Chain A
């Protein structure tokens, strides 16, 4: 059974760096074709893809946010970490991590975490 859970601060101040951790079970990030992605959703708005990391350490970022994002994995801990620098109130959103199957050129998000709401405010 695949599960994912996001953790991190619920409140960050403008200009600070956000660090979110996705802890998962039921799969290994050393298995070929497997990835973990981050997607966010501002309150009442649409989903937005942020970043993906794959079993072979291939990393993909949203072009519009690439300069602010870093995604890393710790295979031994079954964790993926996303950092986002220079946070702004417009970054207030629920942040989801999700299991990606099929690799970058075929993938889709088949399992999602419950999400964590991050508010950016001074």
Chain B
């Protein structure tokens, strides 16, 4: 039972947009609109950024958006800021379990 696949790292300059992918299978990401995304700064607890593929919790900047196509979900951050530098994890409902991605380290150049 593998984790969802994310790129190990992505980078971008301030003001740019980046997209982090999260690839699963037809048993998880592909079958349910139940993907969430979490931001984690070093030494801190994860923070919910997106739920149910594209919904933003109250207080999360509208620079963060989510989408899904087939077995791949994506998190897009527009207008990149230094404070966005962190690890990002996707998570999907998968019937009998919840499964996280391997995490992506975002570097703001």
- Residues of chain B lying within 8 A (CB to CB) of residue A115: 45
- Residues of chain A lying within 8 A (CB to CB) of residue B3: 46, 48
Q: Which residues of B contact A (CB under 8 A)?
A: 1, 3, 34, 36, 38, 45-48, 51-52, 57, 89, 91, 93, 96-103
Residue of chain B at shortest CB distance from A94: B45
Q: A-B contact count, CB below 8 Å? A: 59
A59 nearest CB across to chain B (Å): 13
Given contacts A106-B34, A109-B46, A114-B45, contact A62 B51 (CB under 8 A): no
* The one of B38, B45, B52, B100 that contacts A106, using a Cβ cutoff of 8 Å: B52
Task: State whether B91 touches A108 (Cβ < 8 A).
Answer: yes
B18 nearest CB across to chain A (Å): 19
- Please, how many angstroms separate the alpha-carbon atoms of A49 and B99 in the complex? 7
A51 nearest CB across to chain B (Å): 10
Residues A21-53 near B (CB distance < 8 A): 37, 39, 45-49, 52
Task: State whether A49 touches B91 (Cβ < 8 A).
Answer: yes
Chain A interface, number of residues (Cβ within 8 angstroms): 24
- Residues of chain A lying within 8 A (CB to CB) of residue B34: 105-106, 108
25 pairs, CB–CB < 8 Å, chain A vs chain B: A46-B89, A46-B100, A46-B102, A47-B38, A47-B89, A47-B91, A48-B100, A49-B97, A49-B99, A52-B98, A64-B1, A96-B45, A107-B93, A108-B36, A109-B36, A109-B46, A109-B48, A109-B91, A110-B48, A112-B45, A112-B46, A112-B47, A113-B45, A114-B45, A115-B45
